[in-house]
């Protein structure tokens, strides 16, 4: 029997009404097209069903249900087989589908922003330019600021679970000239308000200024702190430009969209979500204060899982035993001295090299981000044991002729070989995407892509180097080498 005939029978049957056909019909149709309309028996072979259900990395759950339904229709209703003779559907849903998710890393734990990058990266204006809505930008930045300073996740900022208790309302905020106070929802803590200062307070205040006078459409949004304060028109162009079909107008989807967008620009392995931000806040606060913030953190938030996990990661990164924070005598005297001694030698080696190399603070910062590894080949050069070396290349040369600037987006960390190749213009970055490496002689084997990219590069500087250094050399080479050959 032809699959298309069975499909016709299926969609006019009563059987389909047992499930929500609306969602499944298109999937069954796709399934048949996927195998270009073979016989039903071929279609229902185990490997074919598996190939379709697990294809393309989208959620296999919906496809499973659709095909499962179609499969059962064939055996139960069309062939009218008794229950015991119906072959078992070739996928054991729960187990296999969960395994696929796991293997694709979709159920990964918290995502952390590397300590060298810093959390302020989330607020960089260039990420928000494409939104075309100032109010949406303010809302997102305020939500990030709350997650980063008061540890609130989406459930508290604006619930996705329809629970209305514990959402932040306008009454939960007190805005003062140089700080913001937000009510503390943590039950483990006795601190009634969380005080927010600095950059994060500025983002909350900027939003507050607009929010307090904003008209909101829905009744339930009237008191909510994070609410939709833009018109649907404002995001129209943005929605039209997005690849996904589903339009974003509400705060929650747009907040999570922006986190995905920023995560992909930061080249994080998995996307951050708003719940991850509070773990990041704890971890970065520990780094910044060399662990001293732990006491305050516990006082304000208690010691829930996300504090515990972030603290453990901190200890792992700085190579310290978690318990040493809680017991004063956990390290033996001898061990500590040895460690101190080793640290001293290491420090003096590093400062000797520092004096030889004489980097500016920006260059030092950037080299640290890459641990002195070359962004092209990923290698680092070891000078003395434990001391590595790298060079910083100014993409648009930092000299009188080319007038490049001395800012980090105009820099690349490179090994001396690749530094030379970039300086001469043998190599360049593709101005269209910043990660593809171009070579004047395309026939030569070389690294096709930057192997490391952890900081933002300047569009203008990359284009400058490409147009003014790389292309002229390439043109010159093609004239001097290829044309004389053709003349012969």
Binding site for Zn ion (CB under 5 A): 374, 376-377, 415, 418
CA 298 to CA 191: how far, in whole Å? 11
> Is 237:132 a contact under the CB 8 Å cutoff?
yes
Residue in the shown chain whose Cβ atom is closest to Zn ion: 374
Residue bearing tokens 């050399």? 473
Burial class (CB in 10 A: 0-12, 13-18, 19+), 66: buried
198 torsion bin: left (phi>0), alpha (psi -120 to 50), beta (else): left
Shortest Cβ 380–Zn ion spacing (Å): 9
Residue number with CB closer to Zn ion (180 or 450): 450
CA 206 to CA 72: how far, in whole Å? 57
CA 112 to CA 449: how far, in whole Å? 24
CA dihedral 166, 171, 177, 182 (to 10 degrees): -20
- The secondary structure of 287-339, three-state, reads HHCCCCCHHHHHHHHCCCHHHHHHHHHHHHHCCCCHHHHCCCCCCCHHHHHHH
Shortest Cβ 483–Zn ion spacing (Å): 32
> Is 257:239 a contact under the CB 8 Å cutoff?
no
Residue number with CB closer to Zn ion (199 or 379): 379
Residue number with CB closer to Zn ion (366 or 374): 374
Residue number with CB closer to Zn ion (48 or 417): 417
Shortest Cβ 245–Zn ion spacing (Å): 42
> Is 330:324 a contact under the CB 8 Å cutoff?
yes
Residue number with CB closer to Zn ion (266 or 415): 415
Residue 193 pairs with which residues in a beta bridge?
Answer: 183
Residue number with CB closer to Zn ion (377 or 387): 377
Residue number with CB closer to Zn ion (376 or 392): 376
**In 400-444, where does DSSP find H-type helix?**
416-424
Shortest Cβ 421–Zn ion spacing (Å): 9
Residue number with CB closer to Zn ion (96 or 379): 379
CA 28 to CA 45: how far, in whole Å? 15
Shortest Cβ 377–Zn ion spacing (Å): 3
Residue number with CB closer to Zn ion (62 or 378): 378
> Is 440:478 a contact under the CB 8 Å cutoff?
no
Question: How many C-alpha atoms does 320 have within 13 Å on its Cβ side?
Answer: 19
Shortest Cβ 49–Zn ion spacing (Å): 48
Shortest Cβ 451–Zn ion spacing (Å): 9
Residue number with CB closer to Zn ion (133 or 372): 372
Shortest Cβ 418–Zn ion spacing (Å): 4
> Is 481:440 a contact under the CB 8 Å cutoff?
no
Residue number with CB closer to Zn ion (175 or 377): 377
- Helix, strand, coil shares of the chain, percent, nearest 5, are 55, 10, 40
> Is 396:447 a contact under the CB 8 Å cutoff?
no
Which two structure tokens, joined as six digits, stand for 311?
């603290």
Q: Distance between the two ends of the chain, CA-based, in angstroms? A: 68
Shortest Cβ 266–Zn ion spacing (Å): 22
Shortest Cβ 413–Zn ion spacing (Å): 9
Shortest Cβ 449–Zn ion spacing (Å): 13
């Amino acid at each position: 029997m032809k699959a298309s005939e069975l499909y016709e029978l299926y969609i006019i049957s009563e059987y389909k009404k047992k499930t929500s056909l609306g969602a499944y019909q298109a999937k069954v149709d796709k399934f048949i097209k996927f195998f270009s309309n073979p016989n039903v028996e071929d279609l229902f072979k185990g490997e074919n069903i598996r190939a379709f259900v697990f294809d393309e990395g989208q959620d296999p759950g919906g496809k499973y249900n659709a095909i499962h339904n179609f499969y059962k229709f064939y055996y139960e209703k069309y062939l009218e087989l008794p229950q015991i003779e119906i072959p078992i559907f070739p996928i054991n849903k729960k187990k296999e589908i969960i395994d696929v998710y796991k293997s694709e890393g979709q159920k990964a734990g918290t995502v952390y922003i590397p300590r060298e990058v810093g959390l302020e990266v989330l607020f960089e204006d260039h990420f928000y330019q494409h939104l075309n809505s100032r109010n949406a930008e303010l809302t997102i930045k305020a939500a990030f600021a709350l997650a980063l300073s008061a540890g609130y996740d989406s459930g508290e900022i604006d619930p996705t679970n329809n629970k209305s208790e514990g959402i932040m309302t306008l009454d939960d905020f007190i805005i003062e000239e140089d700080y913001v106070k937000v009510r503390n929802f943590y039950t483990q803590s006795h601190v009634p308000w969380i005080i927010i200062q600095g950059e994060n307070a500025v983002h909350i205040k900027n939003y507050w200024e607009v929010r307090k006078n904003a008209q909101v459409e829905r009744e339930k949004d009237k008191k909510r702190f994070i609410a939709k304060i833009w018109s649907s028109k404002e995001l129209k162009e943005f929605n039209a430009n997005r690849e996904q079909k589903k339009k974003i107008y509400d705060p929650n989807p747009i907040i999570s969209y922006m986190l995905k967008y920023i995560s992909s620009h930061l080249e994080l392995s998995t996307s951050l979500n708003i719940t991850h931000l509070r773990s990041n806040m704890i971890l970065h606060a520990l780094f910044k204060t060399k662990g001293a913030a732990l006491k305050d953190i516990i006082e304000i938030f208690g010691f829930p899982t996300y504090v515990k996990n972030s603290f453990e990661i901190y200890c792992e990164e700085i190579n310290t035993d978690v318990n040493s924070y809680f017991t004063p005598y956990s390290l033996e005297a001898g061990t500590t001295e040895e460690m101190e001694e080793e640290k001293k030698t290491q420090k003096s080696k590093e400062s000797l090299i520092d004096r030889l190399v004489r980097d500016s603070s920006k260059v030092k910062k950037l080299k640290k981000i890459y641990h002195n590894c070359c962004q092209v080949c990923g290698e680092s050069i070891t000078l003395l044991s434990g001391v590595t070396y790298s060079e910083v290349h100014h993409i648009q040369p930092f000299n009188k002729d080319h007038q490049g600037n001395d800012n980090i987006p105009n820099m690349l960390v490179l090994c001396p070989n690749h530094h030379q190749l970039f300086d001469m213009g043998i190599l360049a970055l593709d101005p269209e995407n910043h990660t593809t490496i171009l070579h004047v002689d395309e026939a030569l084997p070389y690294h096709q892509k930057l192997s490391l990219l952890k900081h933002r590069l300047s569009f203008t500087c990359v284009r400058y180097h490409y147009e003014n250094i790389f292309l002229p050399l390439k043109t010159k080479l093609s004239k001097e080498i290829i044309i004389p050959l053709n003349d012969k």
